[in-house]
Amino acid sequence: MSSPVFDALSAVLIVCGALLALSSSIGLARFRDTVSRMHAVAKPQTLGLILTVTGAIMRIVGLTDSGPEEKGDIGVLLLIIAFTLITAPVIAQRVGRIARKERLYDKKALSRDDTADK
């Protein structure tokens, strides 16, 4: 048996997370240069994953007849969130540096170029 409040909260979080992940994939397909694509993927996809996993956690918490197996799943889901928050910014920063080094960006799309020769 599960609580209707937790079920509703879980559904809202999962749908919001899925919509953010969808917007991330649309941005990946529509933007033209590497830096724009990286920004479209890194931000909403990370938040979408966090919302979706939080929705799954709410679903587990709402179970009234859960055992230790279900409670152990919460720890794994929290580890997924932690590893995402640790690795996503590092990967985005590395991709940005490689894109800048190999000139895989549109100079006209930049509002300011701090690396330009003066």
Output the pTM of the full model: 0.81
Paired with 63 in beta bridges are: 2
**Residue 54 pLDDT:** 96
User: How far apart, in Å, do the first and last CA atoms of the chain sit?
Assistant: 67
Smallest CA-to-CA distance from 74 within 20, 17, 6, 5 is with 6
* Residues of the chain above pLDDT 90, percent: 42
Domain borders along the chain are: 4-105
**Residue 92 pLDDT:** 87
Measured distance CA(58)–CA(53) in Å, rounded? 9
Residue 118 predicted with pLDDT over 60: no
Task: Answer with the residue of higher pLDDT: 81 or 89.
Answer: 81
